[in-house]
Amino acid sequence: MNNFQTNLTQLKSGMVALVGVPSDENSSFLRGPAQAPGQIRRVLHSGSDNLCAENGHDLGREPRLLDVGDLPLGPGTWQADGAPIITQHIANLLDREARVLSLGGDHAVTFPIVQAFAAKYPDLTILHIDAHSDLYEEFEGSRVSHACPFARIMEAGLAKQLVQVGIRTLNAHQKAQAEKFGVEIIHMTDWQPGMALNLAGPLYLSLDLDGLDPAFAPGVSHHEPGGLTTREVIDLIQAIDVPLVGADIVELNPVRDLVGMTTAVAAKLLKEIAAKML
């Protein structure tokens, strides 16, 4: 019943494609994020709230926003060095001159997605909001673990600049990796609400929900207390002043989201990101 290929034909230049990437087999601790795209859509369309972003942009009446459905992924999607099927699907969306907002999945999906973006945008900047730097050379025997995507991205030269916000667990290996790749890290201990980030464009935003404090986003696989508030993340998004050409929202784990609060956070951030992309 997946209508991805059918929906794709309606995507036109200048539109924003909303796409689900239901993949969590590269998670090291808990599975669950593969269920996230469906849950976020359910909240968006539950009638619990309207579809307005905070700037008044009513996404429910915006013809340029198209939900193309979930990528049709099955066994064999992932290989030792990436997921070429995901890369190809995202490339198809970009070929139609659309911007792409993907709903994960775990953070492993960012590497094959950014492979597609880098081919389109050679001078990409990435803003990465997360509790963890995800810079492991390999993790528990895998180079495509959800702990590794930014090592893969940087070693392949897919981004001109990588800025990380929310980081609060950096061991010696990750610190060495960050230095090797020239990653700009704003540690939580140094974070001040309202800090200005120097971001060049075009920009890709990779938003791991565990960058927020677990008080605001308990429905994630890894609880790392001491993080950002939802309002601080909204402010970061609203302050973006370069073209936002792509984004992902990853690591929502519905299994841990007992009353749906974290899914509501994902839906709220989706609205703010989409409003900024349009």
123, 116 Cβ separation under 8 angstroms: no
Which of 150, 216, 245, 273 is in the footprint of a copy of itself by CB under 8 A?
A: 216
Tell whether residue 242 is a contact of a copy of itself (CB under 8 A).
Answer: no
Tell whether residue 64 is a contact of a copy of itself (CB under 8 A).
Answer: no
Tell whether residue 67 is a contact of a copy of itself (CB under 8 A).
Answer: yes
Q: Identify which of residues 9 and 189 has a Cβ nearer to a copy of itself in the complex.
A: 189
Tell whether residue 219 is a contact of a copy of itself (CB under 8 A).
Answer: yes
Tell whether residue 88 is a contact of a copy of itself (CB under 8 A).
Answer: no
3-class secondary-structure state, position 245: strand
CB atoms within 10 A of CB 80: 7
Per-residue x/- mask for a copy of itself, residues 165 to 184, rule CB under 8 A?
Answer: ---xxxxx--x---------
Q: What is the DSSP letter of 15?
A: -
Which of 5, 10, 38, 97 is in the footprint of a copy of itself by CB under 8 A?
A: 38
Contacts 24+ apart (CB under 8 A), 60-65: 62/278, 64/14, 64/15, 64/16, 64/278, 65/15, 65/16, 65/18, 65/274, 65/278
Helices (H), the chain: 4-8, 36-44, 84-95, 110-120, 149-155, 172-181, 230-238, 261-277
Which amino acid is it at 198?
A: N
Q: Identify which of residues 48 and 88 has a Cβ nearer to a copy of itself in the complex.
A: 48
Q: Identify which of residues 7 and 161 has a Cβ nearer to a copy of itself in the complex.
A: 7
Of 3, 65, 78, nearest to 34 by C-alpha is: 78
Tell whether residue 39 is a contact of a copy of itself (CB under 8 A).
Answer: yes
Tell whether residue 80 is a contact of a copy of itself (CB under 8 A).
Answer: no
Largest CA distance in the chain: 49
The number of CA neighbours under 13 Å toward the Cβ of 24 is: 24
Tell whether residue 96 is a contact of a copy of itself (CB under 8 A).
Answer: no
83, 77 Cβ separation under 8 angstroms: yes
CB of 243 to a copy of itself, least distance (A): 21
Positions in the binding site for a copy of itself (CB under 8 A): 1, 3, 27-32, 35, 38-39, 42, 45-50, 52, 54, 56, 58, 67, 75-76, 140-141, 168-172, 175, 187-189, 213-216, 218-219, 221-227, 229-231, 234-235, 238, 255-256, 258-261, 264-265, 268-269
